[in-house]
Amino acid sequence: MLFRVDPGSAVPLADQIAACVRGAIADGTVRPGERLPAARALGESLGVNVHTVLRGYQRLREEGLIELRRGRGAVVTGDQPTARARLLEGVQGLVDQARALGLSDEEVLTLVRTRLAGG
CA-CA-CA-CA torsion sign (72, 33, 79, 42): positive
Q: What is the Cβ-side half-sphere exposure of residue 3, based on CA atoms within 13 angstroms?
A: 23
Q: Where are the domains of the chain?
A: 13-116
For residue range 4-30, what is the model confidence (pLDDT) as tens digits?
A: 999 999 889 999 999 999 999 999 899
Cα-based torsion angle of the residue sequence 12, 97, 31, 62 in order, rounded to the nearest 10 degrees = 60
CA nearest to 32, candidates 98, 76, 67: 76
CA 101 to chain centre: 23
CATH architecture of 13-116: Orthogonal Bundle (1.10)
Q: What is the DSSP letter of 76?
A: E
For residue range 42-90, what is the model confidence (pLDDT) as tens digits?
A: 999 999 999 999 999 999 999 999 999 888 899 999 778 788 888 888 8
Residue 30 main-chain phi, psi, to 5 deg: -115, 130
Quick one: pLDDT at residue 46?
Answer: 96
